[in-house]
Amino acid sequence: MEVQADRELATLLVDVEKSVGRALRTGRLDDLEVLGYGEISCVLAIESKQAAWAVKRLPLFESEEAFRAYREVFFDYLQALSNAGVVPVDSTLQVVSSEEPGIQVYCVQPLLDARRLGPAYLKTCSFDEGLRFLEEIVAATASAVDPRLGLDAQLSNWVQTDEGLRYLDVTTPMLREEDGTPRLDTGLFVAALPWAVRALADALLVDQILEQYHDRRCALLDLAANLHKERLQDWIPPLLELANQYVSDAITEEECSAYYRRDARMWSALLLLRRLDRTWQHHIRRRPYPFLLPGSIER
C-alpha cells in the first residue's frame, strides 16, 4: 500500500522541483512531463532506468507540525480505504527541498499504463468489460462511503491493473472524527485560491464539496455526472442501473445533467479566479504564482 521512496527518486524529485520553480517563474513547461491536471494540483511523470513514477506536488506546508498532521491522516486514509475494500495504488510522501520557505512535499505513486486509467479504459474496452469495470467501481464506492470515510469516485480516479481495480486519488484524505469534524486541514488546499475568497471557499469545501463524498448517493451521482466531462455519456444509463441498486431514491439522467452543469460552472469560476490571481501576482506584485494551472479545459 505504501511504496518506499529511494535515493534515486529523491534526487529526481529535487530536479523536478527546480523545473517547477522555473516553470512558475517563466510560464514555460518545457522541462516537465505533465500527466494531467486536477482542480487544485497537477500530476507529473518522472523516470529512471529502473522505474517510473507519477508525482503530485502538494501545496506548501508552513510548518513541520502541519506536515506531520497531514502525513498521519494521509496514511490513515490509505489504511481506511483498504479496510473498506477500496485498494489504493501504492503511495508515499516525499519531502523535497524548495526555494520557497516552508515544507514542499510530493505524493509519489508508480507510473501506470495510461490505457488502463478509467476514462481511457472505458473508451476502448468491450461493453462487457466496461460494465464489469463500472460494476466494481459502484460496488466499491457504495460499500466504502459513510459519514466518517469519503472518496471521490469519479472515473479518472480509478485504474484497472493486472491485480484488479485500484484507487488513485489519495491526496485529499476524507476522514472524519466521530463528531463529524474533518481530520484534514482544508486550509492547506484552500490556500491555492486567491486570499479574498479563501474563507468562503473553505466553508464551501467543508459544507458542500467534501460533504457529498461522505454520502453514498451523492458520490454515485457525482460519478455518473462526471461521464459528461469525459465524453462518455453513453455509459450513463448502464451506470445508473448499477448505482440505483444501492440507493433508495433513484438517480435520473436529468439529475446527472443538471448536477454536471452546476459542478462545471463552479469549478470554471474557481479556475478563472486562480488565473486572475496569477496575473495579479505576476504583473502587479512581480512574483511567481506558486501553482501550475491548466490551459483550456473542456467541460
Q: Which of 225, 185, 240 is nearest to 58 (CA)?
A: 185
Over residues 200-214, the mean pLDDT reads 68
Lowest-confidence region among 15-24, 145-154, 193-202: 193-202
Separation of alpha carbons 58 and 101, rounded Å: 14
Q: Which of 43-47, 191-195, 254-258, 280-284 has the highest mean pLDDT?
A: 254-258
Are the C-beta atoms of residues 45 and 112 closer than 8 Å to each other? Answer: no
How high is the pLDDT of residue 3? Answer: 47
Report if residue 80 sits inside a domain.
yes
Give the model's pLDDT for residue 296: 55
Span 136-141, average pLDDT: 98
Please give the helix or strand (H or E) that residue 96 lies within, else none.
strand 92-96
CB 175 within 8 A of CB 136: no
Does 233 reside within a domain?
yes
Q: Strand, coil or helix: what is 299? A: coil
Within 10 angstroms of residue 51's Cβ, the number of other Cβ atoms is 14
What per-residue confidence (pLDDT) applies to 193?
A: 61
Q: How far apart are CA 171 and CA 81, in angstroms?
A: 13
Q: Which three cell numbers stand for residue 12?
A: 529526481
2 in any annotated domain: no
Q: Is residue 60 part of a domain?
A: yes
CA dihedral for 246, 225, 184, 80, sign (positive or negative)? positive
Q: Is residue 22 part of a domain?
A: yes
How many separate domains does the chain show? 1
Residue 278 lies in a domain: no
Q: Which domain holds residue 169?
A: 7-205+212-270
Residue 288 domain flag: no
